[in-house]
A and B are shown apart, each in its own frame.
Chain A
Amino acid sequence: MRSFDLVEPATLDEAVALLDSQDKSVRAIAGGTALMLMMKTRLFQPTRLVSLRRVNGELRGIRMNGDGGLRIGAMTSLAELEYSPMLASAYPVMSQALRTLSNIRIRNVATLGGHLAHGDPHMDLPPILITLDAKVSAASKRGQRWIGVSDLFAGYYQTSLATDELITAVHVPSQPLGVCCWYEKFTARSADDWPTVGAAVWYSVHSNVITEARVAVSAATDRPMRIAAAEAALTNAPPTAQVFSKAADAAADEVQPISDLHGSASYKREMVRVHVRRALERALNLRSNGAG
C-alpha cells in the first residue's frame, strides 16, 4: 500500500472542502469496509482519504421527519440501523434484511452512506430503498441536492454522485398502511456471501387488486434497478400465484444479467425469476399473517 494523506475534518463543510472534483484519487472514507478491500488489492490507490469519522455528530442517527418518514444520517452504522426500533416499526423489510447483510463485524463499522455511495450492485439495501421510494441528500461545495435512490446508480460501481459530492442523509418516506414488502436474497455460496440475486418488492392491494407495484432487482444486474415490465404485470391485477409468476417471468426477460463468480448470466436470469416470484408471495403472506 502506498502512502497517502489521511485527513479528519470536524465538520461537513470542511469535509466537502477537502474533496476534489477533478481528482478521483481523493475519496471520502467512512466505515472503510469496501474501500479498504479495494486498497488492499490495489484496485484503488488514494492520494488523500477524507475520513468522516469526526463528522459523526452531524451525520449520524435516525430521526422522524415532519412527514412521518425517517431521516437516516449517512454515517449511521448498519448495526445501529439493525437494532433501531424506529426502523423496525417503520420499515420491517429493512430490519429483516440487515440481519443477514454480510456479517456483524462488517455491520458494526459499515455506514449507510458508504453502502450506497460504493455503487456495488451486490448490496442489500439499495433495491429495498428503491422500492420504498427513498432519496438521498448529497452535499458538495456547490450546495445540497436530492437524488432518488433509483437514480443514484449509474452502472457497475458507478453512481450519479460527483467526485466531490457526499451523501449526508437518506430520507425514507412513510409507507401506506398494509403495503406488501419483502426482500428476497439468494447467495450461491456461504450465507454471508454477496448475493447472486436480490429482489425487493413493494405493492398495495385494495379490493383484491394490486393498485401500485414496485419491483427492484440487484446483484444479478450491473446496478440495482426497477423492473418496469414486472411492475406493469402486477398493476391492476389480482395478487395471485399466476400473476406473480407472470411478473417474475417479465422480470427475468427484462434483466440483463452479467456472469461472474456468483453465477452465469443464464443462471442469474433464472434466479431472478424464482426470487421475484418468491418475494411477491412472501410479501403477501406476511401481510395476511398481520406481520407486515
Chain B
Amino acid sequence: MSSGKVIEPPPETKRKPGQVKRSVRRLESKAKVDGSAEYIHNLSLPGMLYGKIARSSIPHGKIRSIDAAAALALEGVHAVITGEDVRRLIPDPYYGPAFHDQPILALEKVRYVGEPVAVVLALDPHVAEEAADLIAVEYDPLEPVFDEVAAAKAGAPIVHDILKPAATFPDLKHLEGQSGTNVALSSRVRRGDLERGFQESDQIFEHTFRNGKVIHAALEPYVTVAEMAGPDALTIHTASQSPSFVRSEVSRLLGWPENRVRVRTAFLGGGFGGKLYIKLEALVAACTLLVRKPVRIALTMEEQFYTITKHGATVRVKTGVKNDGRILAREVETWWNGGAYADIGPRVAQKSGLTSSGPYDIENIGIDSHAIYTNEPPAGALRGFGVSQVVWAYESQTDIIARALRIDPLEFRRRNILREGRPHATGMLMSDIDIDAILDRLAERMDWDRPFDHGSGPIRRGRGIAIGMKACVAPTTSVAMVNIYGDGSCGICCSTVDMGQGSDTAMAQIAAEILGLSAESIRVIHPDTDVTPYDMATLGSRSTYHMGNAVRRAAEDARTQLLRMAATALKTDMEELECRDGAVIARSGARMTIRDVMVARFAMQAGNIIGVGSFIPPYEKPDHDTGQSRQITPFWMLGGAGAEIEVDTETGRIRVTKLVNVGDAGSAINPEIVERQLIGAGTMQFGFTVFEEMIFSEGQVLNASFADYKIPGMLDLPHDLTGELVEVPHQHGPFGAKGIGETGMFCVSPAIGNALYDAIEVRVTEMPLTPERVLRALREAKDQPLGSDE
C-alpha cells in the first residue's frame, strides 16, 4: 500500500533479489526532473513552417465555398491548404483505424463544430493564427443530430452518406457501402436462453445509466512535425502512442511502401488513448509534401476538445434474480456516442460490449452494443476503452439489486462472481483470475465488516464498492530487438511508447532479468520505425504482457547467442553457462565479462548480438451472431474499488474521503509503478465521476478550455487514496505479469455512486455527480424540487 499524496517515496526495500518484481526507480526520472527528457513538443527544425487549423463553426453542413484570399494576403503567410489541395496529392484522403471515413481536411461536408477545414502555413505561428481567422467559409447547414439514442433511430439526420469500413477488419466488411444509417457497428453476445432466464427470475430490475463526454486532458497537447527525407521520403516526428500504425496509414494514404515513411516519437506528456491512430500526422504529412518544407502543427489546450473525446454512452441493463441472490439473466444494450468520425469507436463498442454483463457467472446473457455516429467531436479510446461506462451501469445496478434483496452488496457479489474454470459470457473459460481475492482485499481495506457512521446533520457519510473487468484487446502483435554492443552494454529496440506509465523501466527489467544485467544499466531506444520493430500500439494495458513477452524472447535469443559464443571461447558446453552479474559464469567458476565474450568473438571491442522476439497471443474470432469464442482475450483484467464519501446535503457536493483501488497485475514487474498506475487511474476516473464534463450547446463545446473544464487538483483528491495490488500470476505473462494501466479506471464511478446512495438514499444514474445534479435528485426525492431554470 502506498499513499497517493507522496510524490516519490524512498525506494522500497527489495522484495527479493532480481530485476523483475523489484521497484526499480524509473530510468527517466532524472531527465524528467532536470528538463532534459525529449518531447516532440520541443522540436524545432530549420525553416519550419507553423500550421494553424481553421475549423468548422457549424455541426453539420455542406461547404459552399472557402475564401482564403484575405488570409493569403496577410504578410508572412506561406500557403493556405484546403481539402481539395490535399485531394490533388492524395486522391482518396480518408483515414481511420476502423472506417476510412475521416478526411484529412473537410471535403464537401463538415460533420462537427471544430472539424479542420483549412490550414494556414507561416514562418510565424502568430501570423498563421491570425490568417486562420481570416479564412471565410460559407456553408449550407444540414440538420444535425447529437444524442446517440436518437441518432440510432430511423429518420434521424444521417452523418455519413455511405459507410466505409477499413479493409483491415474482416468483421466490418458487411457494412461496406451501407447507407441511411448512423450505426457504425452493432455487436452482439448471446448465451443461454435469455427469455427463460427472465421467466424463472423472482425479480427483474431494469435501469438506464448515462455518462457525458470527457477528454484525456494530457498536459502535452497533440503535436506533429514532418519533414522531407530526400525527394521521395518523409520523416514524421509525432507525439503518438502508435508509431507503427501511423507509418502504415500514412503509407496507405500516399500509396507508398512503408520504408519511405519514418515515424518517430519521444516521451509523451500523457496519452491516455488520445494519441492513438491518426491525429495530426496525415494532415502534417500532406502539408509537408505540398510545400516541400518542414511543417509543425501543435494544438492548443483548447483545440484538444475538438480532436478526440471519451464516449458518452447510454447503457440499459435488465437483470433477473432469484430471491436467494443468484443472477439468472442479464440483458445489456449500449449506445455509444461516437461523434462525427468512427476513429476506434466501433472497437470500443465491440470490446466493451463483450464484458458488459460484468464479472458475473450468469447463464443467460444478451448483449447489444451500438457504435453511433453523431455531429459531435469524434470519440475514441480513453484509458479503459469503454469499460468504465458499462461498469458504471452494471455495478450501480448490482448495488440496487443487493439492497432490494437485503443482501450485503459485497456478499451479493460473492454469490455471483466468475471463478476459475467457469465460462465467461463469450464462452471462454476463465483462467488466471481470483475475484474473491479482490473482494477480500476490498473488505479488508474498507473495514467492511465494521459498523459505519453515516453521520447526522447536513453532512452525511456513505461507502460503496464495485468490481469490474476487461478483456485485454486481441489479437495484436509486438516485436522487439535486444542489442548487445561490443562493450557488453545493452539496448532494447521496441516501439512501446513511454507516455508516463513506466514502460521503459519495465522492459529494461525484463531484459535485465534474463541477461543478468541491472535494469538501470539498460538503454531503451524510443520508437523510430526506421530502427525499432513493429508494435500494434501502446494501448489497452497490453504492453507489459505483449511487448514484455517479445522483449523476454528477444533477450532469451540474445542470451542464447551470447552463451554460444562464450561456450566456444571457454571451450565448454552452453548448458554449463549462465548470465549473472553482468558476466557469463560457468559452473566451473570460470567467468567472462560480456565484453570479453565480444572481444573473443570479434577480436576487438566490436560487433553486435541482436536478439529478436515477437509475440502474438492465440485468439479466436467471436462468432458474429453470438459473440462466442474459446479464446476472446489473452488475459482478463480485474479490479475493484471502494469509496467513502461525505455528502453536503445542502449543496449536493460530494467529498471523497477515501478511495481504494484494487487491481490484479499478475506478478507485478515493478510493484511501486503498478500501485501508482492504480492511483493515477483512480484519480483520473474520480475527476470524470464528480465534475469533469464537456458541456455542449448545438454541437459547440461551451467549456473548451482548462479555465472552464476542470480536472482535479491536489486539494480535490481523497485524503486516503491508495492503490492495492492483488497478484494472481498469469501462466503466459512475462514472469507472470498482466497489464494494469486501465484497471484503476473501471470501478471508481459506481463505488462513489453507491456510496452516495448509502449516504443519502438517492440514486443518481447520470455522471458526473455534480453538486447540482445530486442536490436536484435529493430534493426531488424529498418532494421539495429545486425550481427548473428561471
Inter-chain contact A188/B703, CB cutoff 8 Å: no
B770 within 8 A of A: yes
Inter-chain contact B126/A261, CB cutoff 8 Å: no
A289 within 8 A of B: no
> A267 to B300, alpha carbons, bound, how many Å?
33
Residues of B within 8 Å of A211, CB to CB, are: none
A44 within 8 A of B: no
Closest residue of chain B to A274, judged by CB? B650
Given that A188-B771, A190-B691, A190-B710 are known contacts, is A41 also in contact with B788, CB under 8 Å in the complex?
no
Residues of A within 8 Å of B789, CB to CB, are: 259, 264-266
B249 within 8 A of A: no
From A100, A266, A269, name the one whose CB has the most chain B CB atoms within 10 angstroms: A266
B695 within 8 A of A: yes
> A2 to B776, alpha carbons, bound, how many Å?
45
B contacts with A, residue count (CB < 8 A): 32
Residues of A within 8 Å of B708, CB to CB, are: 261
Given that A191-B713, A192-B715 are known contacts, is A261 also in contact with B695, CB under 8 Å in the complex?
yes
Residues of B within 8 Å of A186, CB to CB, are: 651, 653
Given that A42-B133, A261-B695 are known contacts, is A190 also in contact with B716, CB under 8 Å in the complex?
yes
User: Which residue of A1, A3, A41, A191 contacts B705 across the interface (Cβ within 8 Å)?
Assistant: A41
Closest residue of chain A to B691, judged by CB? A189
List B residues 85-111 near A (Cβ within 8 Å).
none
Closest residue of chain B to A197, judged by CB? B651
Looking at chain A's contact residues, the main secondary structure is: loop
Inter-chain contact B713/A103, CB cutoff 8 Å: yes
Q: A-facing mask of B699-717, CB < 8 A → 1, else 0?
A: 0001101011011110110
A253 within 8 A of B: no
List A residues 40-86 near B (Cβ within 8 Å).
40-42
Q: B-facing mask of A177-208, CB < 8 A → 1, else 0?
A: 00000000010111111001000000000000
A contacts with B, residue count (CB < 8 A): 29
A6 within 8 A of B: no
A126 within 8 A of B: no
B119 vs chain A, min Cβ distance (A):
18
Residues of A within 8 Å of B705, CB to CB, are: 37, 41
B130 within 8 A of A: yes
Given that A41-B302, A192-B715, A261-B708 are known contacts, is A270 also in contact with B703, CB under 8 Å in the complex?
no
Residues of A within 8 Å of B300, CB to CB, are: 40
A263 within 8 A of B: yes
Q: A-facing mask of B705-744, CB < 8 A → 1, else 0?
A: 1011011110110000000000000000000000000000
Closest residue of chain B to A264, judged by CB? B789
> A271 to B711, alpha carbons, bound, how many Å?
22
Inter-chain contact B651/A189, CB cutoff 8 Å: no
From B133, B651, B788, name the one whose CB has the most chain A CB atoms within 10 angstroms: B651
Inter-chain contact A265/B786, CB cutoff 8 Å: no
Inter-chain contact A3/B126, CB cutoff 8 Å: yes
Q: B-facing mask of A92-108, CB < 8 A → 1, else 0?
A: 00000000100100000
Inter-chain contact B711/A190, CB cutoff 8 Å: yes
> A192 to B786, alpha carbons, bound, how many Å?
26
Which residues on B are within 8 Å of A, measured CB to CB? 126, 129-130, 133, 300, 302, 650-651, 653, 691, 695, 702-703, 705, 707-708, 710-713, 715-716, 770-772, 775-776, 786-790
Taking A190-B711, A190-B713 as given, write out 4 further A-B residue pairs in contact, using a Cβ cutoff of 8 Å, ordered by the A residue number.
A188-B770, A196-B771, A264-B772, A270-B786
Question: Across chains A and B, which 5 residue pairs bring their CB atoms closest together, nearest first?
Answer: A191-B715, A190-B710, A189-B691, A189-B710, A266-B787
